[in-house]
Amino acid sequence: MTADEHRDIVEIICAKRDRQALTDRDIAWLLDAYVRGEVADEQVSALLMAIVLNGLSARELATWTASMIESGERLDLSSLSRPTVDKHSTGGVGDKVSLILAPLVAACGAAVPQLSGRGLGHTGGTLDKLESIPGWRASLTNREILEQLESVGCVICAAGAELAPADRKLYALRDVTGTVESIPLIAASIMSKKIAEGTSSLVLDVKVGSGAFMKHRDQARELAATMVRLGHDHAVRTVAVLTEMDVPLGLAAGNALEVTESLEVLGGKGPADVVEVTVTLANEMLELAGITGEDPAARLADGSAMRVYRQMIEAQGGDPDVAMPTASIVRTVDAERDGVVHRVDALAVGVAAWRLGAGRARKEDVVSATAGVLLRKRPGDAVARGEPLLELHTEDESSIPRARATLEGAFSILDDPFEPKALVLERVAS
């Protein structure tokens, strides 16, 4: 076989099954052929499972990611007058940080192109959250994205179909074939989209814990280092921060509920953990963007981040003054004993919010704007028997029993004093 030739798809599957390396030509051909519909879903499924089991070497991963980027267009943001910097979270429960961070970092002088996705499973999607604002539009043309980045400084919108289409197809397939949980596949999926989006720098929030993809810190560190390396290879300055996701972030999990909580933080208040993660990531973004002398906490306190948020919502057709919709049915889950709350399991809260209607099981499902979970107690809070631990919000009474069942055992209430855990765990840079 010459350097220009590739193996056929069955040979490629067998090679990965037998732990042999794929060539650059194999990978480039395969991803291109898959996007063109020349290779069948079942064949790519088999290959993905072989990759989940046997991994990809650093060279294979670099080629895989480059081929995914080349499968579509690359946005050119070089005409912008401000430095570009984006943030991506690997996904968690109650993670509304993007809604606050994009306008906050824009208020400090950067341009933030947040091309986002919708939620799947128990982790919410940024676009679903913003779509709970009546009139707000997630789909923008490339021209609108550029204009808004110049005039407002930030945009949160859907990644167009032309951006890394190989990932769109692969992600949908991975989702239904048990092949999401692979460090190289997750790294290639995230980084191909972020590199294609055209940002010059990127901060990754890699979540660790029960409510995250990465349940253990060493896995999260490996994913972070893998993505930082890919960013570096493509001239995107990239830093990752590992943050805790055993407990939901803030008090709200659900679309409109999270927008409301984000507005509290943008108003200079809101839960301390949301503020801490947001300000930590903002400082990392400003450093990568080369912006000095700005204090993100001060920009939250003085209302400038809120002003940019309002401009961003208005520019995309939303009314920033509209009252957020609220659920018609609200029930509580109450404490069964007195004590101090030690644990609120993020996964259980995320799944409960999803069952109440906040998330989707299939891509085509419609999400409820108002459904979700609002915590009334967090770790460290004292509680008396019969007091509400959390509220269940929904439009569908029949979803309540399943949400309650999910939350059984989600709270640990003990007599011992509570020792808080660190929220920001470590930083990974190249």
Query: So which residues are the catalytic ones?
Result: 88, 167, 174, 189, 193
Q: With CA atoms as reference, report the closest residue to 256 among 144, 356, 398.
A: 356
| CB of 282 vs ligand URA, minimal distance in Å | 22
Taking the alpha carbons at both ends of the chain, their separation in whole angstroms is 36
Which of the residues 229 through 268 are near ligand URA (CB under 6 A)?
none
Query: Distance between CA 296 and CA 108 in Å, rounded?
Result: 7
Sign of CA dihedral 332, 336, 337, 340: negative
Q: With CA atoms as reference, report the closest residue to 107 among 154, 53, 147.
A: 154
| CB of 140 vs ligand URA, minimal distance in Å | 19
Which of the residues 273 through 312 are near ligand URA (CB under 6 A)?
none
Provide the mask over 91-130, with x wherever binding to ligand URA is found by CB under 6 A and - wherever it is not: x---------------------------------------
What is the residue-wise DSSP string for 16-40? HHTTPPPPHHHHHHHHHHHHTT-S-
**Contact range with ligand URA by CB under 6 A, out of 30-38, 146-154, 156-164, 182-190:** 182-190
**Contact range with ligand URA by CB under 6 A, out of 13-21, 40-48, 155-163, 185-193:** 185-193
Query: Distance between CA 387 and CA 156 in Å, rounded?
Result: 38
Q: What are phi and psi for residue 294, nearest 5 degrees? A: -105, 140
Task: Name the residue nearer to ligand URA (CB basis): 90 or 226.
Answer: 90
| CB of 120 vs ligand URA, minimal distance in Å | 9
| CB of 188 vs ligand URA, minimal distance in Å | 8
Q: With CA atoms as reference, report the closest residue to 388 among 330, 327, 335, 340.
A: 335
Measured in residues, the chain has a length of: 430
Task: Name the residue nearer to ligand URA (CB basis): 92 or 318.
Answer: 92
**Contact range with ligand URA by CB under 6 A, out of 151-159, 181-189, 336-344, 366-374:** 181-189
Quick check: 84 binds ligand URA (CB under 6 A)? Answer: no
| CB of 94 vs ligand URA, minimal distance in Å | 17
Which of the residues 186 through 205 are near ligand URA (CB under 6 A)?
186, 189-190
Task: Name the residue nearer to ligand URA (CB basis): 97 or 286.
Answer: 97
Query: Distance between CA 184 and CA 227 in Å, rounded?
Result: 9
**Contact range with ligand URA by CB under 6 A, out of 179-187, 270-278, 316-324, 381-389:** 179-187
**Contact range with ligand URA by CB under 6 A, out of 77-85, 103-111, 180-188, 322-330:** 180-188
Task: Name the residue nearer to ligand URA (CB basis): 204 or 341.
Answer: 204
What is the residue-wise DSSP string for 39-56? S-HHHHHHHHHHHHHH--
Which of the residues 152 through 171 are near ligand URA (CB under 6 A)?
171
Task: Name the residue nearer to ligand URA (CB basis): 117 or 254.
Answer: 117
| CB of 117 vs ligand URA, minimal distance in Å | 6
Question: Are 362 and 108 contacting, i.e. CB atoms less than 8 angstroms apart?
Answer: no
Q: What angle do CA 368, 362, 183 make, to 5 degrees?
A: 115
Helices (H) and strands (E) in the chain, counts: 16, 13
Task: Name the residue nearer to ligand URA (CB basis): 213 or 309.
Answer: 213
CA 205 to chain CA centroid, Å, is 8
| CB of 252 vs ligand URA, minimal distance in Å | 22
What is the residue-wise DSSP string for 310-367? HHHHHHTT--TTSPPP--SEEEEEE-SS-EEEEEE-HHHHHHHHIIIIIS-SSTTPPP
Environment class of 397 (CB within 10 Å of its CB; exposed 0-12, middle 13-18, buried 19+): exposed
Query: Distance between CA 99 and CA 87 in Å, rounded?
Result: 11
Residue nearest to ligand URA as judged by C-beta position: 189
Task: Name the residue nearer to ligand URA (CB basis): 177 or 304.
Answer: 177
Instruction: Kindly determine how many residues on this chain lie close enough to bind ligand URA according to the rule CB under 6 A.
Output: 8
Enumerate binding residues for ligand URA (CB under 6 A): 90-91, 171, 180, 185-186, 189-190
